[in-house]
Amino acid sequence: MKYKQLFSLIAFTLASAPVYATSVDLDFSNHIESTNLSNSFGPSYNGPVMHFLNVGTHNGKTIDAKVSSEIFGDATFLFHTPNYKDGGGQPEGDIGFLYQVNSPGSAGLIYTFEFYDGTDGLSGTFSVPYTVPEFDMIGYDIDGEPVQSEQVRVFKNEGFYSYQTGSAGASLTAEESVDGQSVLFTGPGTNYSETDTSGAVKFTFKNTSIVTLQFETVTTSGSPFPNPIFSAFDGNWDLDQFIPPVTSSDQSDFGDAPDSYGTLQASNGAEHALSSSLYLGSSIDADTDGQPGIASNGDDLDVGGNDDDGITVLTSLEKGLDSLIRVNAFGSGYLQAWADWDMSGTFDEGEQIIKNHAVINGQQIIPIRVDSDAVIGSVQTRFRLSSSPNIPSDGYAGDGEVEDYVFSVTDPGTTIQHSNYYTAAFEDNWPETGDFDLNDVVTYYRTTIISKDDEVLRFDLTGTITAYGASYGNGLGWKLNGFAESDINLQLARLEKNGGTRPNISPFTGEDKDIASPSGDLVVVASLNLLNDIPINGECQFHRTNPSCSASLESEQMTFSISLPFNEGSEPSVSSLMPLNGGDPFIFGPGHGSYHGDSFTTSPGKELEIHTSDFPPTTRGTLVGDFYGTADDDSDSTSSKYYRTTSNLPWGILISSSWNHPSEYIDISNAYPDFAEWATSGGISKPTWYLNPNGDKTWSTDD
């Protein structure tokens, strides 16, 4: 009815329903946007989107949320009312909204909840989706009246698991859409009180970071116009007299790994609602429950036939090396995969081998890496495809398919060797010195080779961005020596960010693998623009350089990995790459049109490079030579002097240890009293200058 639709996000358990996870209670009271309206509903906000901090907690994590509105048909969105009906004896932590229909016919409102990781430094960034394992929504007064119908549609691919309607004679009806992708709940057409279950419905969602509630109404010409409709979502109310839960789909797909991995429904097993638009392989069949077995073939031998046919291992799984798998998908979604490398009987933290890989309809090749500590022999794996990202290895998903396999791991007799850890730090104002705090880009990294029989099978470069004190965009790369780009198996080569593979991105360019890299020097790229990749907290302005910003807000750091497997027959010898060192790190312009200082009349692109002192630009850095000897630069290629001032001060430094970089706007010579003597002497005096900081002017790497 008008003004009285009420939804609830609550946390309670029904004895008649199996309990797989603790339902997360959500509270929409801590909003970021300031209310700018006052009306009978309470303080309200008339923008289409609201952001909320700490709407709930789960597993030690804080959850933030974004709530968005979108009108369809002849309707108008008016406002949100956060913490609607706050007060004694009233629900708390809810959010209401008001929209109006302006003419007869069909119209409505799409109201979308998106959940994000808001823990510590991610608070308020709304950048990392958070998959909530289970939560409930109760809707009240979806009953309708003579001049308008009242309906709400929910979507299966968003983790919609079950529903309950009222037990009274008049109650909502549920109807699945023709395509099987959604369920529409329609009110009985009579006005009931808010506490009457005749107009109520409870939804349960599992393992999703997004929920879309689509309100649909048909208004007759007998209604006054505009016709306002109010709804609210609350976290504290409860209703009795619900019928037993009904699953959102009466057909599901389960796995067949041993039950210790989460296979049976009673063990919160991996379960997918059957969908005709998304699955692995050529077919999918319905299972009454999981079919656990040591060979993971229960789903292959059942009456539905072998439908676990979406994954094929193309190259052997060798300990510590890379392998290729072929994925055959019907539809587009996110692929997750796990491998129990230590065969402990569970998929432990760190055993996820594919995370949020976007697959499309058809076949695609995906590289995976066998853990260097993997047990030789059989390994249990699990692959899950779904429309939702970040789903775990067990539990319910709204669509897609789970396929379990047992593969074999062999021992190639490999040796793994690491370099020391290095810190590279840059001032990005070249050819001007700027504030000379050398914290515009700071990265901590090491190199690794995996070899067998004195042949290097793979070269890795892994690290962390420990500071970004720049307002400019900057890419990050390395010039390498000892082998050629053509020696590398580009199909297996990969670039990772924060533990996830950047699909089909070449480590030689940072762009799609189909784009050829320039000829010339061997260069690898960790990021085309760190300003877009690192988690900069809005309160801090920069990343881990502002001394007035709490370190807890910047605990999250960007990690990266560049992996270069060699083609068979092109493997370099171990001696040709030893001793392992820090290479030649450099930063570069993020692209034409991005301002990078007053020295450039036009904004430079990637041909602007800034290396550590006395390393020349690569063959890609074609702009640099035009600016030798300008502004503060005193580079002289004839004497192999690069990126230094007249007093030998560098724009980039390389240190073979961790390093406490200067705080924002603190000249490095003030943060490190021995630095200037070391620099002007050409590195002869004070060689351990970096071990003696002025502690109150640096940012500790322990923070």
Does 500 lie in the same domain as 450? Answer: yes
pLDDT of residue 547: 85
Q: Which residues of the chain have pLDDT under 50?
A: 1-20, 89, 303, 701-703
Does 383 lie in the same domain as 445? Answer: no
Does 659 lie in the same domain as 631? Answer: yes
Does 180 lie in the same domain as 49? Answer: yes
Q: How many C-beta atoms surround the C-beta of residue 568 within 10 A?
A: 9
Closest CA to 191 of 263, 140, 238: 140
| Dihedral (Cα; 287, 293, 294, 297), 10-degree rounding | -40
Instruction: Please identify, among 232, 247, 262, the residue that sits at the C-terminal boundary of a domain.
Output: 247
Does 657 lie in the same domain as 529? Answer: yes
| pLDDT (tens digit per residue) in 160-189 | 999 999 887 789 999 999 888 999 999 998
Is residue 24 included in any domain, yes or no? no
Residue 120 corresponds to which tokens in the numbers above? Answer: 């510590």
Whether 457 contacts 566, CB under 8 Å? yes
Q: Which residues pair with 245 in a beta bridge?
A: none
Q: Which domain holds residue 289?
A: 252-410
Does 96 lie in the same domain as 173? Answer: yes
pLDDT of residue 235: 54
Compute the Cα dihedral for 339, 344, 345, 349 and give only its sign. Answer: negative
Per this entry, what is the length of the chain? Answer: 703
pLDDT of residue 210: 96
| pLDDT (tens digit per residue) in 219-244 | 999 999 999 888 777 755 666 778 88
Does 213 lie in the same domain as 260? Answer: no
Does 634 lie in the same domain as 497? Answer: yes
Is residue 10 included in any domain, yes or no? no
Is residue 293 included in any domain, yes or no? yes
CA 374 to chain centre: 26
The 3-state DSSP class for residue 160 equals strand
Can you tell me the distance from the alpha carbon of 422 to that of 425, in angstroms, rounded to the nearest whole number? 10
Does 265 lie in the same domain as 164? Answer: no
Can you tell me the distance from the alpha carbon of 104 to that of 14, in angstroms, rounded to the nearest whole number? 41
Task: Count CA within 13 A, CB hemisphere, residue 190.
Answer: 9
Compute the Cα dihedral for 125, 130, 135, 141 and give only its sign. Answer: positive
Does 319 lie in the same domain as 426? Answer: no
* Single-letter residue type at 473: G
pLDDT of residue 167: 83
Closest CA to 225 of 101, 105, 109: 101
Does 356 lie in the same domain as 294? Answer: yes
Can you tell me the distance from the alpha carbon of 271 to that of 393, in angstroms, rounded to the nearest whole number? 10
CA 653 to chain centre: 32
Instruction: Please identify, among 213, 247, 281, the residue that sits at the C-terminal boundary of a domain.
Output: 247
Is residue 14 included in any domain, yes or no? no
Report long-range pairs for 16-20 (Cβ below 8 Å, ≥24 apart).
16/244, 16/245, 17/162, 17/244, 17/245, 18/265, 18/266, 20/134, 20/206, 20/268, 20/395, 20/396
pLDDT of residue 236: 52
Residue 24 corresponds to which tokens in the numbers above? Answer: 């997360």
Report how many domains make up the chain: 3
Is residue 11 included in any domain, yes or no? no
pLDDT of residue 153: 96
Compute the Cα dihedral for 50, 54, 56, 60 and give only its sign. Answer: positive
Strands (E), 144-261: 151-155, 160-165, 173-176, 182-186, 201-208, 210-219, 227-234, 246-247, 252-254
Instruction: Please identify, among 358, 389, 410, the residue that sits at the C-terminal boundary of a domain.
Output: 410
Closest CA to 328 of 315, 341, 339, 314: 314
Is residue 273 included in any domain, yes or no? yes
* Single-letter residue type at 357: H
Residue 186 corresponds to which tokens in the numbers above? Answer: 């329609």
Give the Cα-Cα-Cα angle 355, 361, 363 (nearest 5 degrees): 75
DSSP strand pairing (6-10 vs 227-234): parallel
Does 449 lie in the same domain as 387? Answer: no
Is residue 101 included in any domain, yes or no? yes
Question: For the domain that residue 333 is a member of, what is the CATH number?
Answer: 2.60.40.1930
* Residue 235 burial (C-beta neighbours within 10 Å; 0-12, 13-18, 19+): buried
pLDDT of residue 237: 61
Kindly list the distances between the CA atom of residue 414 and the CA atoms of 428, 446, 455, in Å, as whole numbers in the listed order. 40, 19, 10
Residue with tokens 């030998």: 648
Can you tell me the distance from the alpha carbon of 132 to that of 82, in angstroms, rounded to the nearest whole number? 21
DSSP state of 468: B
Is residue 579 included in any domain, yes or no? yes
Can you tell me the distance from the alpha carbon of 29 to that of 92, in angstroms, rounded to the nearest whole number? 8
